[in-house]
């Protein structure tokens, strides 16, 4: 049993990063996640990571690029408007194949938006807010414990695949307090022969770039990246199921709405409706395979995607369902968290029409 | 080699054998060479990490035989900040043009200087955007004709040319700020001594080193390489005076 | 009387920029007007080799590092 603490989501993420062997944090304050940098600043005398409050999110993501390319384990955190500023950096990091961890504690948008939680950054996270053909691993925690577990996992996956990993959280998970079990500190000794640490006599110079000016070279790079993404899709899909064994209606939800959705399933079952929840833990790679299986089964009648957005993940659900069963969407924007009752009312109405 | 003679000057080993793509007569080639000579003479090749920009010198990593990182446009100061923070015992430099450092990257530049990040800025200022075909830069001289100021740069709508060295020398975090040029052999030799001094200051950990190089663009200025060196004397240097603006102990 | 110095120029790497020619104090270099290298440049060459004083100005100015300077051993 590891150390048990009662912690706020953002702070748990910060503590987990320290234990995962993070060597550099470069970030900028933004609500609702400034606790991360504040926690790391307060803890710094007890550890030897580098902490730098950058002048902007643009600077932060580029510091991540530099630190990662120099061979270090690095992280930044932000919220939606700040994450928009980082998109160029993420595209560069993905192409240069640098291991980085970024967390987006998402809030309502678009624009400056609200400081309340939101799930309107799904497209940006999963379809690529930056330019070009790239993907990144996106983990979607729905509890303070997962803020811890996913942070540790994010660093591992980032190094395993030399890829940016995004922790797509939200203001609710970031701000709530729950009991967590913290892992033992991981002894991290990086071996990165590709990093820019200084050209010693035994090797050629290393250079990190995303520039491939000849089409043939750019295509080769893209083919290589696509192969990597395929490998990730085959090996790193993660999801959780709740009461899906005999379910006729499947709810898909991630993050804070997945917690509400568990309650919705319970209420539905009380009312005699056979409902189940499929919760993607990785929203990229998306659990399309499992959704497809459920869509294929004779017993499942419909899918419902519940999101705090105008409907983003529902498109991936529809793609996976591929027209076999009706797929509905229910969502609230602006940081309004849908109540189980209103969702159940919506579901009941749709089911009656089927 | 002829009998009775010895080599007194040759290409430094810290430059690769790749053919440089720069236009004939471009000061980029001269600056790459003398900076790599400094690295070679100080035996720092295995300890040096450079950050290159977007601009004509985007391929600097093909010419300098040291570990390098290609930064997004304007971001070299942020990238170099992290490199130096994570590898504090390496010699770190950024190499940027006037768009990269004085337009899109000004924020990152000022803040790295203000924090006193211990790396060397090499700022190649030729008052024009060479790579993209000769557009106006923040450092383009007043009334200078470029493709986006075809009738001459108008101060009223586009402001005056930015004097970056003067600006950053006011920041406490900057330990060394100097402006050099590459238009004559004397100035090239002086520039090399300035680079060496900057690296020595980095080794002492005294703060940010900022060396601006008043440079040329025969293609953008539409003149020959030799004429472009005269342009530097007649137009550039009167506005961008050479010299040391700040050094430790003074 | 052999010259104080001489230079070797990598013909095909030279871009004919003329900076070496313009900065040679004894004007011993020139651009070859009746020939070009593989890239089409009129490359630099020692038109008047006897005048070389091994000052290294040419090599110092050369942006493409094509010049090696030799000096008579004392």
Cα–Cα distance, A171 to B193 (Å, whole number)? 54
What is the enclosing helix (H) or strand (E) of B80? helix B76-86
Q: What is the mean pLDDT of residues A94-114?
A: 97
Averaged pLDDT score across all residues of chain B: 97
Does the distance separating the beta carbons of A56 and B79 come in below 8 Å? no
For position A187, what pLDDT does the model report?
Answer: 85
d(CA C26, CA A217): 47
Q: Rounded to an integer, what distance in angstroms lies between the CA atom of residue A307 and that of residue A119? A: 7
Question: Which residues of chain B does C41 touch, with a Cβ-Cβ cutoff of 8 Å?
Answer: 24
Instruction: Specify the pLDDT at position A245.
Output: 96
- Nearest C-alpha neighbor of C15 from the set B55, B22, B57, B15: B22
Q: Which domains does chain C have, with CATH numbers?
A: 5-71 (3.30.70.20)
**What pLDDT score does B23 carry?**
98
Structure confidence by residue, pLDDT tens digits, A323-350: 999 999 999 999 999 999 999 999 999 9
Residue A128 confidence class, pLDDT cut points 50, 70, 90? confident
Beta strand A327-331 with A302-307 is parallel
How confident is the model over B45-72, as a mean pLDDT?
A: 98
C-alpha of B159 from chain center = 23
Average pLDDT over residues A76-102: 98
**Phi and psi angles of residue C61, each rounded to the nearest 5 degrees, phi first:** -80, -25
pTM of this structure: 0.95
Tokens of C67: 């010049």
Using the predicted structure, report yes or no on whether residue C44 has a pLDDT greater than 80: yes
Which partners does chain B have (≥3 C-beta pairs < 8 Å)? Answer: A, C
- Measured CA to CA in angstroms, residue B62 lies from B50, B52, B65, B69, B224 at distances of 12, 11, 7, 11, 26
The pLDDT of residue A135 is above 90 = yes
Any residues with CB less than 8 A from the CB of A341 and at least 6 apart, and which? A267
C63 to chain B nearest CA, in Å? Answer: 4
Rounded average pLDDT over B173-180: 98
DSSP string, C3-70: -SEEEEE-TTT-----HHHHH-TT--EEE-TT---TTS---EEESSGGG-----HHHHH-TT--EEEE
* Chain C neighbors (3+ CB pairs < 8 Å): B
CB-CB neighbors (< 8 A) of A63 in chain B = 78-79, 81-82
Domains parsed from chain B with CATH numbers: 27-131+173-246 (3.40.50.970)
Residues B114-136 have pLDDT tens digits of 999 999 999 999 999 999 999 99
Residue C27 pLDDT greater than 80, yes or no: yes
**Region B208-224 average pLDDT:** 97
pLDDT at B59 over 90: yes
Q: Which residue of C has its CA nearest to B23?
A: C15
Interchain pair B70, A199: CB under 8 A: no
Q: What is the CA radius of gyration of chain C?
A: 12
Measure B138 CA to nearest chain A CA, in Å: 21
Nearest CB to B87: which of A70, A92, A207? Answer: A70
Q: What is the pLDDT of residue B1?
A: 83
Q: Which of A56, A88, A206 is opposite residue B72, by nearest beta carbon? A: A88
8 Å CB contact between A304 and A275: no
Does the structure show a pLDDT above 80 at A1?
A: no
Q: Tell me what the mean pLDDT of segment A266-275 comes to.
A: 95
* B7 min Cα distance to partner chain C (Å): 4
Q: CB B185 to CB C70 under 8 A?
A: no
Domains of chain A: 3-235 (3.40.50.970), 239-353 (3.40.50.920)
Report pLDDT for C10: 98
Confidence of residue A354 (pLDDT cuts 50, 70, 90): confident
Structure confidence at residue A137 (pLDDT): 98
**Average per-residue pLDDT for chain A:** 97
Q: Cα dist. C52→B189, C9, C28 in Å?
A: 20, 14, 6
Question: What confidence tens digit (pLDDT) does each residue in A33-76 have?
Answer: 999 999 999 999 999 999 999 999 999 999 999 999 999 999 99
| CB-side neighbour CA atoms (13 Å) of C14 | 27
Give A200-227 pLDDT, tens digit per residue: 999 999 999 999 999 999 999 999 999 9
What number is the average pLDDT over the span C25-52? Answer: 98
């Amino acid at each position: 049993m590891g150390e048990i603490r009662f912690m706020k989501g953002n702070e748990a993420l910060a503590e987990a990063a320290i234990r995962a062997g993070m060597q550099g944090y470069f970030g900028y304050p933004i609500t609702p996640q400034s606790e991360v940098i504040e926690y790391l600043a307060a803890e710094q005398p007890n550890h030897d990571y580098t902490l730098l409050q950058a002048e902007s999110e643009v600077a932060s993501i580029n510091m991540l690029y530099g630190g990662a390319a120099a061979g270090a384990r690095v992280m930044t955190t932000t919220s939606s408007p700040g994450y928009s500023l980082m998109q160029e950096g993420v595209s560069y990091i993905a192409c240069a194949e640098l291991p980085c961890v970024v967390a987006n504690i998402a809030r309502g948008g678009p624009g400056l938006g609200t400081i309340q939680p939101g799930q309107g950054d799904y497209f940006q996270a999963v379809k690529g807010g930056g330019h070009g053909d790239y993907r990144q691993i996106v983990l979607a925690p729905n509890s303070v414990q997962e803020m811890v577990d996913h942070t540790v996992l994010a660093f591992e996956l980032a190094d395993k695949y030399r890829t940016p990993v995004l922790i797509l959280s939200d203001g609710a998970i970031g701000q709530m307090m729950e009991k967590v079990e913290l892992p033992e500190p991981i002894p991290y000794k990086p071996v990165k022969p590709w990093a820019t640490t200084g050209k010693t006599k035994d090797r050629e110079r290393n250079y990190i770039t995303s520039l491939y000016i000849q089409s043939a070279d750019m295509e080769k790079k893209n083919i290589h990246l696509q192969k990597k993404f395929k490998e990730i899709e085959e090996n790193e899909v993660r999801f959780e199921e709740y009461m899906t064994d005999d379910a006729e209606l499947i709810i898909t939800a991630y993050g804070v709405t997945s917690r509400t959705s568990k309650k919705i399933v319970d209420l539905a079952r009380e009312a005699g409706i056979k409902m189940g929840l499929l919760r993607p833990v990785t929203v990229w790679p998306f659990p399309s395979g499992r959704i497809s299986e459920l869509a294929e089964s004779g017993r499942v009648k419909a899918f419902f995607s519940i999101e705090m957005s105008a409907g983003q993940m529902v498109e991936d659900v529809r793609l996976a369902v591929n027209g076999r069963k009706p797929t509905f969407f229910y969502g609230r924007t602006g940081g309004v968290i849908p109540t189980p009752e209103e969702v159940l009312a919506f579901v009941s109405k749709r089911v009656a029409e089927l | 080699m002829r009998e009775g003679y010895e080599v007194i000057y040759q290409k430094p080993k810290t430059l690769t054998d790749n053919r440089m793509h720069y236009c004939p007569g471009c000061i980029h080639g001269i600056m790459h060479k003398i900076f790599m000579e400094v690295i070679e003479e100080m035996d720092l090749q295995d300890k040096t990490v450079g950050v290159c920009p977007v601009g004509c010198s985007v391929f600097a990593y093909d010419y300098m035989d040291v570990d390098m990182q290609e930064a997004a446009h304007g971001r070299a100061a942020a990238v170099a900040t992290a490199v130096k923070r994570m590898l504090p015992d390496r010699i770190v430099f950024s190499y940027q043009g006037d768009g990269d450092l004085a337009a899109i990257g000004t924020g990152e530049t000022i803040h790295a200087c203000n924090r006193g990040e211990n790396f060397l800025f090499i700022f190649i200022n030729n008052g024009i955007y060479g790579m993209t075909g000769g557009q106006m830069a923040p450092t383009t001289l007043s009334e200078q004709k470029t493709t986006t100021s075809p009738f001459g740069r108008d101060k009223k709508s586009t402001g005056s040319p930015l004097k970056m060295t003067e600006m950053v020398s006011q920041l406490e975090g900057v330990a060394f700020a100097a402006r050099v040029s590459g238009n004559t052999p004397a100035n090239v030799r002086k520039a090399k001594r300035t680079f060496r001094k900057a690296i020595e200051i980095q080794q002492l950990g005294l703060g940010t080193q900022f060396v601006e190089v008043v440079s040329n663009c025969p293609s953008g200025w539409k003149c020959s390489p030799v004429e472009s060196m005269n342009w530097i004397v007649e137009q550039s240097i009167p506005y961008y005076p050479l010299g040391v603006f700040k050094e430790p102990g003074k | 009387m052999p010259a104080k110095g001489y230079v070797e120029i990598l013909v095909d790497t030279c871009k004919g920029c003329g900076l070496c020619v313009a900065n040679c104090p004894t004007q011993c270099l020139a651009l070859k007007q009746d020939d070009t290298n593989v890239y089409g440049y009129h490359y630099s060459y020692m038109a008047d080799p006897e005048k070389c004083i091994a000052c290294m100005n040419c090599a110092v100015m050369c942006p493409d590092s094509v010049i090696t300077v030799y000096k008579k051993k004392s």
